[in-house]
A and B are shown apart, each in its own frame.
Chain A
Amino acid sequence: NAGVMQNPRHLVRRRGQEARLRCSPMKGHSHVYWYRQLPEEGLKFMVYLQKENIIDESGMPKERFSAEFPKEGPSILRIQQVVRGDSAAYFCASSRPQGAEETQYFGPGTRLLVL
């Protein structure tokens, strides 16, 4: 059973460009979470999605960041007009439907470097 997949593993962008991070949840998982880890810090929650729905985006910056989890395909975290402060590791996690299993399993992360 494949784990949570994230790509790319490393992404380099120049200031002002767009970054698009992808996450495919584990088989049977319909809940996806995105977390950000700044250098030398713990993970901070960004957004929680189910298929075609954003459930909680309380951790998302108000501007430039968006997330989606379409009916088909991976979840996408999009960062527009990146700035150096966006450099971080972005982790995706997935879990089974509510009430069945609350444990979140993490992908390997995408390391974003903004030059």
Chain B
Amino acid sequence: AQTVTQSQPEMSVQEAETVTLSCTYDTSENNYYLFWYKQPPSRQMILVIRQEAYKQQNATENRFSVNFQKAAKSFSLKISDSQLGDTAMYFCAFMKPSIYGGATNKLIFGTGTLLAVQP
């Protein structure tokens, strides 16, 4: 069974600085997707970024980028120029899409990292 581990329960960063959140996962699959979702105080789950395992290039979305190391099963999130609005719980998630057979698209989440951006 797949597992997702986020080893940093809490992190803090100064506004405008850069912070990296860690995520590792365990799977025997070769084709899968990885995601970062953020959950601000409103508790809404918001997609931050997505990475397909078959793509070697790391995904980027404006100030958010990932460092995807497939062999090491590592998927860290880098937030550049941190803003107060980035304060949230960040969840890493794994999915084996059903198009690859035998799976049903369910997301497997880590336990989250609470990020506080300090002014």
Q: Which residues of A contact B (CB under 8 A)?
A: 31, 33, 35, 41-45, 48, 55-56, 58-59, 89, 91, 93, 95, 98-99, 102-106, 108-109, 111
Contact = CB atoms under 8 A, between A and B. Distances in A.
> Which 7 A-B pairs give the minimum distances between C-beta atoms?
A106-B45, A56-B104, A42-B109, A45-B106, A102-B97, A43-B109, A42-B111
Contacts of A106: 37, 44-47
State the main secondary structure of chain A at its contact with B.
Answer: strand
A108 B108 contact: no
Nearest to B35: A103
Given A33-B105, A45-B108, A99 B45 contact: no
A48 B95 CA distance: 13
A95 B104 CA distance: 12
Contacts of A43: 45, 91, 107, 109
19 contacts: A41-B111, A42-B109, A42-B110, A42-B111, A43-B45, A43-B91, A45-B106, A48-B104, A55-B104, A56-B104, A91-B45, A93-B45, A98-B97, A98-B98, A106-B44, A108-B43, A108-B44, A109-B43, A111-B43
A99 B108 CA distance: 19
A109 B45 contact: yes
Interface of B: 33, 35, 37, 42-47, 50, 91, 95, 97-99, 104-112
Contacts, number: 61
A51 to B, nearest CB: 15
Given A43-B91, A44-B109, A102-B33, A89 B104 contact: no
B105 A104 contact: yes
A28 to B, nearest CB: 16
Interface centre among A41, A45, A105 (most CB of B within 10 A): A45
A41 B104 CA distance: 23
B45 A102 contact: no
A42 B99 CA distance: 26
